[in-house]
A and B are shown apart, each in its own frame.
Chain A
Amino acid sequence: MDDVALRTVEMIAKAKNIPTDTITPESTFEQLGIDSLDKINISFEVEEAFNIEIPDEALGSLKTVGDVINGVKQLIDAKAAGTTPAATS
């Protein structure tokens, strides 16, 4: 995993108090016991860490850890390019 993926996984692990090695990009929120409140909490941590803003409509479509990682990367790239992605996965 690259830096963005590793940091994202670490934030999820910390938020849910579970070991990082139990989390893969394929892990679903359901498998990790992440409910809607956890999702908002993790999104907030991710936004703070990467200085991005996850739109509400994108938040609703996140189902897996990989979705979060890909979405974060898109938002980081879009910010660097000065554009707004249509959707983040």
Chain B
Amino acid sequence: MNRVVITGLGCVTPIGSTVSSFRESLFAGKTGITPIVNVADAPDGNPGVRYKQAAQIFDFDASQHLDSGIVTSTNRNTQLAIVAARQAVEQAELMKHHAPGDIAIIMGCACGGRSSEESEVKKLYLNNARAHPLTIVRTMASAGASNISIDLKITGPTLDISTACASSTHAIGLAFHMVRSGMATAALCGGHDAPLSFGFYRAWDSMRVVSPTQCKPYAADRDGMSLGEGAAMLVIETLESAQARNATIFGELVGFGMSADANHITQPQADGAAAAMRKALADGNIAIDEVGYINAHGTGTQANDATESAAIHQVFGERASQIPLSSTKSLHGHSIGASGALEALATILALQEGRLPHTAGVTNPDPALKVDLIINEPRPTGPTVALSNSLAFGGLNAVIAIKSWP
């Protein structure tokens, strides 16, 4: 089996529209969760919900990056995906060194072109208006992967995976396995979602799981998640190809585990999350003692953080409370299908820098969860192996293990 390394990174997120700005915000603890403004189709741009903040991207203008025809035929989630993909591919010089047919594109996207769909539906129901002829191609959930392949002329296996909040971790994990097995020599993998539409805000409001202020993962006074948007991409390839062309290596993907709770559509279960973590460790032949950081799913809801910490205790036993853990959702919000990719990026940068990002906005970690929550400032420690957890609604769990390089 091939060893698989990371040679390109890209992102457009609420805390940075380049990897360098994302990195800066990540270690400065600068949150992208800000007051909600300018929601399309909402009266006066205000969605009228109980909560006031979300992680929005304000510095992204698709027309600065994409041809007008592409802007017209795509939803924001796809536009973010194309731009982030270009960054990663350019950094890795991917197209110079791999045949287009040997590269896979595996994306995660949970919400598709939701805002475009809502706009069309509004016109339909209010005015019985004709639908825009590009409605279908803007809203199809696989538009991100398709448009990336067209933009970069990549012709290998290309698809979008939809597993709610675990979508992009599933995407990275499956791409890792494809490159490891030799099905592709390289892959562009990650996730993209831009779901912050009027209807989406309202639907989450009715679920009553969004924090009225800002998410405080693993805090004693946590009161819900903060919604977000974004895209993050990794270029991965075989170690052999990376070394042959003397590519810069940012880390090594070493393990992937996935599981289903098979229990409840919203209530997570520790057994399922624990199974995914165990499988990721087994997949990478990783000893429990090697894991020195967990980038938690850490949504900041009562149920997620309690269940995830219970699962960590199941897997790591006495070591559970000694493994540094943070949730970077306190910075970049919960971008649903893209969140796993943003967190993978944060984890790679943490391993590369030898310091672990803190959980912003938390002053009182919940003692009942019994984890070593990193708060106040980044922790200067350089672990060898880190896990990044994604535990989705519907009980779909995905965990990747990343090793520092060298």
Contacts and interface: CB of A to CB of B under 8 A. Distances in A.
A59 interface: yes
A44 B264 CA distance: 20
B207 interface: yes
A80 interface: no
A56 B50 CA distance: 10
By CB atoms of chain A within 10 A, which of B206, B207, B208, B264 has the most? B208
A37 B208 contact: no
A37 B395 CA distance: 14
B206 A36 contact: no
B322 interface: no
Contacts of B206: 40, 44
A35 interface: yes
Interface in B289-329: 303
A59 B207 CA distance: 12
Interface residues of B, number: 10
A48 to B, nearest CB: 11
Contacts of A59: 208
B63 interface: no
Contact of A37 (B50, B212, B265): B265
Interface string A31-65: 00001110010001000000000001001000000
B267 A36 contact: yes
A37 B208 CA distance: 10
Contacts of B303: 36
A30 B207 CA distance: 20
B208 A40 contact: yes
B208 A35 contact: no
Interface in B194-252: 206-208, 212
A35 B207 contact: no
A59 B206 CA distance: 12
B283 to A, nearest CB: 32
Nearest to A56: B208
B72 interface: no
Given A40-B207, A44-B206, A59-B208, A35 B267 contact: yes
Nearest to A53: B50
B266 interface: yes
Interface string A12-35: 000000000000000000000001
Contacts of B207: 40
Contacts of A56: 50, 208, 212
Contacts of B208: 40, 56, 59
Contacts of B266: 36-37
A36 B302 CA distance: 12
Nearest to B266: A37
B395 to A, nearest CB: 13
B275 to A, nearest CB: 22
A51 to B, nearest CB: 16
Nearest to B303: A36
Contacts of A35: 264, 267
A37 B393 CA distance: 12
A36 B212 CA distance: 19
A17 B85 CA distance: 48
Contacts of A37: 264-267
A35 B267 CA distance: 9
A56 B267 CA distance: 18
B116 to A, nearest CB: 27
Contacts of A40: 206-208
Interface string B54-88: 00000000000000000000000000000000000
Nearest to B210: A56
Interface in B343-373: none
B86 to A, nearest CB: 40
Given A37-B264, A37-B265, A40-B208, 14 more contacts: A35-B264, A35-B267, A36-B266, A36-B267, A36-B303, A37-B266, A37-B267, A40-B206, A40-B207, A44-B206, A56-B50, A56-B208, A56-B212, A59-B208
17 contacts: A35-B264, A35-B267, A36-B266, A36-B267, A36-B303, A37-B264, A37-B265, A37-B266, A37-B267, A40-B206, A40-B207, A40-B208, A44-B206, A56-B50, A56-B208, A56-B212, A59-B208
